[in-house]
Amino acid sequence: MPGCLRTLLVALLALLATAAAALEPIRIGVSGPFTGGSSPMGISMRDGIRLAARQINDAGGILGRPVQLIERDDEARPERGAVVVQELIHREKIVAGLGIVNTGVALASQRFYQQARIPMITSVATGSVITRQFQPPQYADNYIFRASAPDSIQAAMIVEEAVVRRHFHKLAILHDSTNYGQLGREDLERALERHGIKPVAVERFNIGDVDMTPQLTRARAAGAEVILTYALGPEMAHLANNLVRLGWKAPLVGSWALSMSNFIDKAGPNAEGTRMPLSFIQEGDTPRRRAFIDQYRRRVGAERIPVPSAAAQGYDSMQLLAAAIRQARSTDGPRLREALEFLDEKIEGLVMTYHQPFSKTDHETIDSPRSLVIGEIRNGQVVFAYDEDRKRQTHNK
């Protein structure tokens, strides 16, 4: 074969290889509870990520490559979550991870992302310790990021709502026995301590419990005026229903899990007036949010988002990761982590507009109560509890 022909053939093969690599999908892992009691959060998050990925692919992908989501159901079980993440990393060869709803699952599984040096943006789980497990100087680099509100911020807002805005001074804490519930209870106690208050009662229950009347009876006997909660939707519905059966009209103020559709639907009228901190409410108060809600309804075929904050945070986490890949011009883990920590692109998200949201030492997008609002259940819908929150969020967009 003549030398010039050989050279041409080599160049053609190299060009074909480059084109093939350019078309190879960017494989991103998405894990969460898509079945079971936590599934309203997991499904909402997954659908938000899917909508963002579809938009990105419709616009030509990232660096000319389509996004491929590799989804796995962790069933809200820590042991299952650990297996799922290892499968995504080693068998599916993902370049980054999104998702995780339950704090216990996050604590059990995120170390595998850290060990593999693959960035993980936590879309929903809120345990305050989640992004602190692998911080410098104990670790050279931290691969765990988050787009949801840490419980330390939520707990401060819950206490602010109950103590400062509504002037309650005798407070009871009721929480579930999961990592989420117990760590949230600790955050609530610390927030109350900053106001010089100790709870008059602290009670816990297990996942699957339906009768909380013993715990509620003790809290009422201790003189509680309001109940602060850290638990998931199904158990909270039983608690709200138990309150009515006891004839006790103590208001509920708790974590964002009180916005779950399975709390609202199972508690029915007994959920009315419940309040919680949220990053997103299903109201089209800005053009971008209105477009997202409309797109969700068309693509998913449902009028109501089961947990709007989870959907919005999932959407935003996908957009943040896409920006990091564009900036790094690579899917290499360390380069992606560095790009996330020094993100130059301004991202118009649903929860907020992100401008340099992370740093080397701070992997939280939400680090202030100003990024959140107080929601309230009215007529079976989650709405803004305060007009000032609606106006502030609309102005900030």
**Predicted pLDDT at 390:** 86
- Average pLDDT in the chain: 93
Reported as a single tens digit per residue, the pLDDT across 247-298 is 999 999 999 999 999 999 999 999 999 999 999 999 877 899 999 999 999 9
Residues with Cβ within 8 Å of 5's Cβ and at least 6 positions away in sequence, in order, are none
Q: Which residues, other chains included, contact 296 with Cβ-Cβ below 8 Å and sequence gap of 6+?
A: 47, 48, 51, 302, 305, 311
| Cβ atoms 238, 209 nearer than 8 A | yes
Tell the residue number behind the tokens 């787009």, with chain if given: 147
Beta-strand runs (E) in 74-170? 96-99, 120-122, 144-146
**What top-level class would CATH report for the domain 152-278+374-396?**
alpha beta
What is the per-residue pLDDT for 5?
Answer: 57
96-99 and 26-32 as β-strands: parallel, antiparallel, unpaired? parallel
Tell me the backbone φ, ψ of residue 176, rounded to 5 degrees.
-85, 170
Predicted TM-score (pTM) of the model is 0.91
Name, in order, each residue with C-beta under 8 angstroms of 354's C-beta and a sequence gap of 6 or more: 316, 320, 343, 346, 347, 365
* Most distant pair of Cα atoms in the chain: their distance: 96
Residue 17: what pLDDT?
45
Task: Indicate the pairing of strand 171-176 with strand 226-230.
Answer: parallel
User: How far is Cα 37 from Cα 76, in angstroms, rounded to an integer?
Assistant: 8
CATH architecture group of domain 23-149+285-366: 3-Layer(aba) Sandwich (3.40)
Q: Low-confidence residues of the chain, pLDDT below 70?
A: 1-22, 394-397
pLDDT at res. 20: 46
Per-residue pLDDT tens over the stretch 49-105:
999 999 999 999 999 999 999 999 999 999 999 999 999 999 999 999 999 999 999
* Structural tokens at position 68: 């491929």
Beta bridge partners of 384: 375
pLDDT attached to residue 211 = 97
List of residues 6+ apart from 132 with CB closer than 8 A: none
The domain spans of the chain are 23-149+285-366, 152-278+374-396
pLDDT of residue 196: 97
What pLDDT score was predicted for residue 3?
Answer: 59
pLDDT score for 1: 54
